Chains A and B, each alone.
Chain A
Amino acid sequence: MEELLQHLINGLSLGSIYSLIALGYTMVYGILQMINFAHSEVYMMGAFFAYYSAKLLKLENSPSFTTLLIILFITMAMCSLLALSIEKFAYRPLRKQPKLNVLITAIGVSLFLQYVAQIIFGADPKVFPTLINDQLLFEVAGVPVKSFDVTILGVSVTAMFALHFLVYHTKLGQAMRAVSHSPAVASILGINVSRTIAFTFVAGSSLAGIGSILVGIKYQKIEPMMGTMIGLKAFVAAVLGGIGSIAGAVVGGLVLGVSEVLVVVYGSSQYRDALAFGILIFILLFKPAGIFGKNTIEKV
């Protein structure tokens, strides 16, 4: 029982990271109907932004809550800038082209960033700075709860609530939802569609930046190819929840995280990655719209 509880905590903290990254996929899909495959590389770059900014500010050996916050904000800002440039220079010129062109461009941007990162940062893994100490905080029913897991869950839940507030309780969020339903109608009401799309990229990439720091804290190792697998899994989480749905991305990420941990513990760690893709195949076969997805009717 205690063991199961421990695994659930692990699964939730892993799942909340998947959720954060899945939100970026789902938001961009919601507004542009395209899968932003470069999202996983924005996440990877986030880890390096955090690594180097901690080094530059000489904060790599002074773990504290303030350190974490400073690095979080710098990384979110840098990831936003990166995503804004990708949107502006790679995606925006193609906005009136068929969706497939943008999709292929996104894959190109993703590969470009992977290899540029290997050239600049080197292909060897780096040790992520200790931004926060891992200590025992308290015990629940005999299960030790450590500060890493609390930080990961706390930060991601806060970020998700902030996103929910942004999307459902601000004017900007209202504009985002309007553009996602119909850019043409949004624009005749006075909404600047390009700016709203840019803000969506900022929101999604900030969450990816947060995710990269949480992964750095949890696994302490970063490298230029780290985005590939987690990006694919977050994508599966977004599809599982229903792509385009914000609640879906959160639930999809948590379900995937918990089931992955349970498969490793009670099955075999070899099936860890297979599980995500098994879920993807299953969802696409039996409920392609995902858990929260609407049945969309293609009008012709």
Chain B
Amino acid sequence: MIQKTILKVENLFVSYGAIQAIKGISFEIQKGEIVSLIGANGAGKTSTLRAISGIVESQGNIILNDINLGSIPTHERVKHGLAQSPEGRGIFPQMTVKENLELGSYSRSDKEQIEKDLNYCFKLFPRLKERLSQFAGTLSGGEQQMLSISRAIMCKPELLLLDEPSLGLAPIIVSQIFDIIKNLNASGMTVLLVEQNAKQALSISDRAYVLETGKITLTGKGKELLNNDDVRKSYLGV
């Protein structure tokens, strides 16, 4: 099978003032993969995602489907097939669930397909349909995460960036969310997953990169890393 590279990150640097958060990392994602970035707090996982979606400035190349995103403003990157469920879910609490989802399809005009995608989200997360006219701030943590992922799906991305979808959720909800990510991937979505929950993330990932203080220290297949001694010691607490 010929693999197609969907995202290629080359020599990426991110700095906040004098502090360098990302120190020249390179990685790539093939179409149809789930790739995880794992690492401790402050390793630079979120900064990497923010650089890809353009919320923070960065040096280096970020190439999505052969297009260098460097010169493309943040708000136009969604049209190139990028969507993100940001850190802390980033939902709009004073808007209804419906309005949040509508904002996902903000830059789209294909009405029929939008309707179809909306129904697809309701199939993935039936709970959202029940709460459509409720303010998003009144949802439970798990429901907010579902909303955040659905909103990203409504952007109709080719590459979905998920920033710590398991953060602050009960274990049973965490497994649900990871099942959904697996299902999404099975239906063709390429996913870049950032997680502290290394065990869950690695078990559903095709490949993974381990980030330590802004550098990639280890890479490999998800299952292999699960059995890697260093990873087991540092991230799985075994």
Contact = CB atoms under 8 A, between A and B. Distances in A.
Interface of A: 171, 174-175, 177-178, 181-182, 184-193
Given A188-B86, A189-B155, A190-B155, A181 B106 contact: no
Interface residues of B, number: 27
A190 B53 contact: no
B99 to A, nearest CB: 6
Given A181-B93, A188-B55, 13 more contacts: A174-B95, A175-B103, A177-B92, A178-B92, A184-B55, A184-B90, A185-B90, A186-B103, A187-B54, A188-B75, A188-B78, A189-B104, A193-B75
B151 A188 contact: no
B176 interface: no
Query: Which of A175, A189, A193 has the most chain B CB within a 10 Å cutoff?
Result: A189
B32 to A, nearest CB: 23
B149 interface: no
B75 A177 contact: no
A190 B74 CA distance: 7
B94 A181 contact: yes
B55 A190 contact: no
Contacts of A174: 95, 99, 102-103, 106
Contacts of A182: 90, 92
Interface of B: 53-55, 73-79, 82-84, 86, 90, 92-95, 99, 102-104, 106-107, 151, 155
Contacts of A175: 103, 106
7 contacts: A174-B106, A181-B92, A181-B94, A182-B90, A188-B82, A190-B76, A191-B106
Contacts of A171: 106
Interface of A is mostly: helix
Contacts, number: 64
Given A177-B94, A177-B95, A188 B74 contact: yes
| Residue from B73, B74, B90, B151 with most neighbouring chain A CB atoms (10 Å) | B74
Contacts of A191: 75, 103, 106-107
B79 to A, nearest CB: 7
Contacts of A190: 75-76, 78-79, 106-107, 155
B95 A188 contact: no
Contacts of A193: 75
Contacts of A178: 92, 95, 103
B55 A187 contact: yes
Contacts of B92: 177-178, 181-182, 185
Q: Which of A178, A181, A190, A192: most chain B CB closer than 10 A? A: A190
Contacts of B95: 174, 177-178
A274 B142 CA distance: 51
A188 B83 contact: yes
A13 B58 CA distance: 53
A182 to B, nearest CB: 6
B121 to A, nearest CB: 15
